């Protein structure tokens, strides 16, 4: 018998002895202890050693990382997925919100707050109009008159004491009282070097020409002075029925011309008729113009291109004698004084100011 056969016989005999021993110890404490020692470790079945994959893991489906387009639906998948890098990470990173200790940054308004702000802005009044809202044909005259700074405008005294032109009132009607003050002030400023053409303001002790303009009225000196000069019709000039001036009433076109034209011509107004005005101006409503104003309208026609009507109202076939006059239109009329060949404009006064200041120095 060779060596290999002897070894096989010994192994077989040993296995038989072990089997008999286990069979005889079955159910005994020694047998149970021996059986447990030969069993596999259950922890190794659930958690295989490092580097060895279990059968369960190899058979389970592979979990893919979630993206913003395909968000994960289970917490397990999210916890086992590596955190992505790059722009996709912003969809999974927990960002502190306002109130959190780690929050840094401004608190943006909610949609409700934004809607409320939008409604508030829509309800906020628009800003004051600028000279762009003054008719383009009147704008140059208005700019020159404002630059002269000789006529007060409502509310032009700013809180800081500086003058601020309230352009919002330029397109609004001007009152009779205000225009009377403007007319006397502008005439005397334009003719400051011609005393014979100035209008003397009335003194406070003068007897009022109108019942509704007393000595305490801020425009008394102007209204009374124009009435005493015969520029404004009053009982002093033979108009016995004109006892009220109506200082707060809007100035109309017929009175605008009736008061201004005599300061241009410096002579008595010509006689006029409805037919004469229709033939010259071509006004379709000439019959609606009162007789006194009709004379001023006809006289203004002879001023040609520098007439007050053309400067303030442009080309028109309707005079509309009772239409209120805006401050911008009144400024355009006061922009020039005098007859055709001897007139003085606000532009000329502005050009002369630097020379006058140079002479003073």
**Sequential pLDDT tens for the chain (361 residues):** 565 566 666 766 666 655 555 555 555 555 555 556 555 555 545 555 444 544 444 444 444 444 444 344 444 444 444 444 444 444 455 555 555 555 554 455 454 544 544 444 444 444 444 688 899 999 999 999 999 999 998 865 544 444 445 677 999 999 999 999 999 999 999 999 999 999 999 999 999 999 999 999 999 999 999 999 999 999 999 998 899 999 999 999 999 999 999 999 999 999 999 999 999 999 999 999 999 999 999 999 999 999 999 999 999 999 999 999 999 999 999 999 999 999 999 999 999 987 666 666 5
Measured distance CA(333)–CA(187) in Å, rounded: 11
> How far apart (Å, rounded) are the C-alpha atoms in residues 301 and 265?
12
H/E segment holding residue 336? strand 336-337
Give residue for tokens 């009507």. 309
320: left (phi over 0), alpha (psi -120 to 50) or beta: left
> Quick one: how far is CA 230 from the chain centroid?
47
Cα 233 to Cα 177: distance, rounded to the nearest angstrom: 14
Token code pair at residue 228:
């005493």
- Cα(334)–Cα(325) distance, integer angstroms: 13
148-181 core/surface letters (b: 16 or more CB in 10 A; e: else): bebbebeebeeeeeeeebbbebbeebbbbbbbbb
Which of 70, 63, 64 shows the shortest CA–CA distance to 88? Answer: 70
DSSP state of 249: S
**DSSP code, position 345:** E
pTM of the shown model? 0.63
8 A C-beta contact, residue 253 and residue 319:
yes
Is residue 340 within 8 Å of residue 311, measured between CB atoms? no
Q: Cβ–Cβ contacts within 10 Å for residue 357, how many? A: 9
Lookup result for tokens 């009162």: 290
Output the 3-class SS for 178-232. Answer: HHHHHHHHHHHHHCCCCHHHCCCCCCCCCCCCCCCCCCCCCCHHHHHHHHHCCCC
3-state DSSP call for residue 173? strand
With CA atoms as reference, report the closest residue to 179 among 350, 328, 347, 306: 328
């Amino acid at each position: 018998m060779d060596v290999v056969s002897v070894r096989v016989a010994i192994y077989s005999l040993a296995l038989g002895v072990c089997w008999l021993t286990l069979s005889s110890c079955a159910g005994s404490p020694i047998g149970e202890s021996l059986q447990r020692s030969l069993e596999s470790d259950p922890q190794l079945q659930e958690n295989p050693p490092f580097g060895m994959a279990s059968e369960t893991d190899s058979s389970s489906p592979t979990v893919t990382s979630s993206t913003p387009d395909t968000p994960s639906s289970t917490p397990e998948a999210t916890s086992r997925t590596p955190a992505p890098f790059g722009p996709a990470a912003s969809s999974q990173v927990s960002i502190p919100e306002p109130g959190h200790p780690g929050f840094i940054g401004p608190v943006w308004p909610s949609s409700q707050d934004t809607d409320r702000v939008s409604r508030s802005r829509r309800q906020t009044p628009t800003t004051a109009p600028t000279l762009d809202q003054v008719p383009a044909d009147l704008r140059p005259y208005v700019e020159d008159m404002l630059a002269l700074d000789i006529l007060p405008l409502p509310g032009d005294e700013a809180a800081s004491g500086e003058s601020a032109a309230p352009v919002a009132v330029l397109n609004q009607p001007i009152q009779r009282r205000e225009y009377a003050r403007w007319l006397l002030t502008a005439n005397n400023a334009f003719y400051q070097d011609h005393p014979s053409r100035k209008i003397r303001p009335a003194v406070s002790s003068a007897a009022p020409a109108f019942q509704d303009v007393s000595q305490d009225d801020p425009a008394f000196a102007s209204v009374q002075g124009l009435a005493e000069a015969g520029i404004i019709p009053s009982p002093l000039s033979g108009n016995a029925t004109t006892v009220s001036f109506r200082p707060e009433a809007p100035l109309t076109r017929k009175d605008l011309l009736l008061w201004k034209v005599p300061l241009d011509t410096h002579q008595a107004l010509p006689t006029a008729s409805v037919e004469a005005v229709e033939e010259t101006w071509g006004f379709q409503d000439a019959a609606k113009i009162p007789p006194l104003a009709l004379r001023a309208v006809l006289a203004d026609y002879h001023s040609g291109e520098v007439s007050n009507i053309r400067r303030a109202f442009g080309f028109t076939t309707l005079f509309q004698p009772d239409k209120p006059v805006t401050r911008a239109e009144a400024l355009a009329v006061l922009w020039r004084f005098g007859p055709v060949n001897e007139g003085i404009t606000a532009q000329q006064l502005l050009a002369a100011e630097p020379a006058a200041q140079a002479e003073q120095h």
